[in-house]
Structure 1
Amino acid sequence: MFYVSMFFQYISQYVKTRMQYRADLFVEFFSDLMSQAINLIFILVVFGHTNLLGGWSRDEIIFIYGFFLVPYAVFSAFFNIWDFNERYIIKGELDRILTRPIHSLFQIILERIELESLLGAITGIAVLFYAGSRLGLSLSWYDPILFIIFVIGGALVYGGIFVMLACISFWADAKTSIMPMMYNISNYGRYPVNIYNKLIRFVLTWILPFAFVGVYPASFFLEKNEWNWYAFLTPAIGIAFFSLSVILWNQGVKKYRGAGN
């Protein structure tokens, strides 16, 4: 209950702060919307030259992209740790975090929340309904429940991978560019993995499982029965990677000796 209370207190303070700068909030939302629109236009341009991509139709690819946007929005809202190395290790702000009687990762996640990113989930759901209606997909009573489970699993996959990347800073506090590179790699999860070669497919499934954020869970709703077991692995993969990241984080905190030494 203590952590739940702290969560809502952080959220309350964040909302108060953001409402003081409504114009900035609108600009951020508009820029995110433009970024998503550009990615969607790219898909449409590709299908302007072909009817199928790896056996997938245009509307199926759009459906996968729409699904991807939802867990990605949750991740973007709660895991803004791309500058963890510079802000918390090099500048020493982790010292402040460690003086408080609450888990350090929990604090950093709540300090860096960007709830406006959740608006991307609305865009994703809209794209899902558009593509789903064109594909003639029907909903079963359990589909919304599975959708929420898959979204949480996908967000945990993303969160787990990027928390593990942040943990590198505990052992190597020099500035690195691995985070931007990983963001670029993560974009491959927006598309069906069978359009890539076997090595990339293996990496996106078991090493950096970004495929569990988009194509695998989306394939369940697209009735791609041969990939159903991958879809149901999504929550397990998410929990496994995030749990591993927390273990690695705890070990990194033990290794940390403070700024300036």
Structure 2
Amino acid sequence: MRMRYTFELFREYLGNYIKTKLTYRADFWVEVVSDLMFSLMNLIFIFIVFQHTPSLGDWSEAEVVFVYGYFMIAQGVFSCFTNLWNFGDRYIIKGEMDRVLTRPAHSLAQVMLENVDPPSLIGSLVGLGIMGAAWAKLGLTFNWYDPIVLIVMVIGSVLIYTGLYTTLAAISFYSDSPTGIIPLMYNIQSYGRYPIQIYNKGIRFLLTWVLPFAFVGVYPASFFLERHADRTMAWLTPVVGLIVGAIGLIVWNRGVKRYRGAGS
């Protein structure tokens, strides 16, 4: 019943979002174009790198672009549903968390729904197109189960994103001063755009087992590749996603219990 109630809330919030954007259509398209330009610049950077080297480690240009395409899919879905960038400032410092806690829906679901950002899904569609173009260039075999596996992998990657950023947002319950951790984390996640094998052992360990951004890029994408296929690590993606997502929810719930209001 609670899950059904949350989905009904999502429909209502999405309806309000659409009404708002229909009123300010220019803002909507500016946001879409800016997101696409940012993604395009990252793709151009990959092409520039391969103008100076035939391979990155033993990864070809098409393989790196393939991983980047997958990364865009997962990041777009995450950015749409888990927009927690300004949580501390808006909900803790300005006191909006008090309003959230007076309502019956789970506090995290409310915060996520209030900040839903559908234009980010356009980045996912672009990523899917990039992945498809690289797929064709690499001549990869297409199996009937590949779309199902892709959906499972993306869900796992999104859960990893959500768990990590929920944990960081929950730090605001313990300290209402800006920590600068989320911008730092955003920069670290960029390493997930590229094959983890090009980094040294320390960074590979960090991106696999501490801040598992390798599971939002190269590991799940490797399931579909041939030369760099790593099915074991790929199938760990949904497992790691469930673990990291659960940790984020636990930290959030404990933070909410500790919260005493904006004036305390």
Aligned to 1:143: 146
Number of positions where the alignment pairs a residue of Structure 1 with one of Structure 2? 261
| Equivalent in 73, 80, 85 of residue 83 of structure 2 | 80
Q: TM-score, normalised by structure 1?
A: 0.98
1:246 equivalent to 2:231? Answer no
Q: Does 2:165 align with 1:162?
A: yes
Conserved? CA contact 2:66–2:221, under 8 Å: yes
Partner of 1:113: 116
Match of 2:218 among 212, 215, 219: 215
Letter in 2 for 1:13: N
Q: Distance in 1 between matches of 2:228 and 2:134?
A: 19
Q: Name the counterpart of 1:19.
A: 22
Instruction: Find the residue that maps to 1:180 and give its secondary structure.
Output: helix
The corresponding residue for 2:178 is: 175
2:56 is matched with 53
The CA distance in 2 between the partners of 1:111 and 1:93, in whole Å, is 11
Q: Give distance in 1, aligned partners of 2:227 and 2:176.
A: 45
> Letter of the aligned partner of 1:168 in structure 2?
I
Asked whether 1:259 is paired with 2:255, we answer no
The SS at the match of 1:47 is helix
Q: How far is the alpha carbon of 1:138 from its aligned partner?
A: 2.1
Distance between the aligned counterparts of 2:239 and 2:95, measured in 1?
35
Q: 2:94 aligns with which of 91, 95, 104?
A: 91
1:168, 1:2 → 2: CA distance? Answer: 28
CA offsets, 1:56-77, max 9 Å, x none?
A: 0000000000010001000110
Superimposed CA distance per residue, residues 98-137 of structure 1 (whole angstroms, 9 cap, x where no aligned partner): 0001100000000000001100011101101111111011
Instruction: Return closer, same or farther for 1:72/1:137 CA change in 2, 3 Å cut-off.
Output: same
Alignment RMSD: 1.0
Q: After TM superposition, which residue ranges in structure 1, 4 or more long, deviate above 6 angstroms?
A: none
Please report how far the alpha carbon of residue 224 of structure 1 lies from its aligned counterpart in structure 2 after TM superposition: 4.5
SS in 1 for 2:164: helix
Kindly provide the CA deviation profile for residues 185-223 of structure 1, in whole angstroms up to 9, marking residues without a partner as x: 000000011111101000100110001001001111112
Percent sequence identity over matched residues?
53
Superimposed CA distance per residue, residues 16-44 of structure 1 (whole angstroms, 9 cap, x where no aligned partner): 11121111111111111110110011001
Query: Is 2:9 the partner of 1:2?
Result: no
Instruction: State the partner residue of 2:33.
Output: 30
Gap runs ≥5 in structure 1: none
| 1:125 matched residue in structure 2 | 128
Structure 1 distance, partners of 2:89, 2:9, is: 26
Name the aligned partner's letter for residue 145 of structure 1.
Answer: I
**Match in the other structure for 1:102:** 105
